[in-house]
Structure 1
Amino acid sequence: MGRLIVVQYITLDGVVEDPDGSDGTPFGGWAMRFGPEGVAGDKFRLGDMLETGVLLFGRRTWDHFAELWPPRDTPFAQAMNRAEKAVATSRPLPAAAWTNSRAIAGPLTDWVAATIATRDVVVIGSGSVVGELQASDLVDEYRLIAFPLAVAAGRRLFPDPQQLELVSSEMVGPASLTVHRTRTTTG
């Protein structure tokens, strides 16, 4: 059985909106203030999930990534470009924009439930998708890269109180990667 994993860049005050400044918000670009080492490579420790799982995007995030990733040629970029990608959208995807991409047929929550029955699904960014999956209690794990700043504006990852289990924490460049489970597991 797979898991639904949400990966996000986040500020200390919980903001996930516009980390690279591409949305043009007054507070945007906060993750980029720390230089490329804060966001380069496999900071979220996805590893084999890029080969065996599915990356899930909302349409706006996918459109942005479809411009950024295809021309890159680092080992991590090659893995991202090879990965299977699913997009929650009602509009057709441009055929050659980003390899291994397809639109999800049917309701998002049904697709996620069917897919995690056999493999991991990793949601990258995609605030509206994350919100829908949170509301349906489908998120199993959050991998958050927290940058040491507060921007006091923007959409937050958790609009409501949440109880999470801390699984691990480590420094990754100028930020910290924390892994949290939404449910306590026994084993």
Structure 2
Amino acid sequence: MISQPLPRSAQPAPARRSPNPGWLAQILLAQRNGHSCLPLHLGLDALTHAALIQASFPDLARQYGSAPPRAEECDALRAELLELRRDEWQELRDLLLGARRGREAEEEALASIVAAACLGGGHLWHDLGLNSREQLRELLEYNFPQLASRNVNNMRWKKFFYKQLCEQDGGYVCRSPTCEDCPTYHDCFGEEL
């Protein structure tokens, strides 16, 4: 008996390669080159940061050792900001972790890194060192789909996260009872430049 090949629809899907290492590499390189708002350890504790670098980017660990060339210039100020706003960082991190997919080892590190970038003054995608808001959306949908799916009005991500915290427990005060009535509506939903 001659075996027939399985029709395409019955064949197992090829294993999808995780995009997380690529995003982490981009975030790390942007931080090391001074193109993000992240502190030296990206919002991770020193041991977790060292393990991430060693496991995912051993060439960088060998090339730079423990001190990347440009990252130290602004690190003291960024680390101080993170420490002053540690409770806020923790709430943002918990929000992300509560909505993680639960399939990738990098999700916990990414939650810490994204939470640290939320403390920056620019657009979240830029503060992370990503290329675009679309790339940030893909990262969030892949790693934190339950949270990302709630951003149905395409609100800017940082604003959206704080709005979620406001709705969770009222710890952060929204300026208006509804977004449509808010005088700063354009700040949350306008074009990102």
TM-score by length of 1: 0.32
Higher helix share: 2
> TM (normalized to structure 2)?
0.31
Indicate the structure whose relative CO is greater, using CA pairs within 8 Å and at least 6 residues apart: 1
Higher strand share: 1
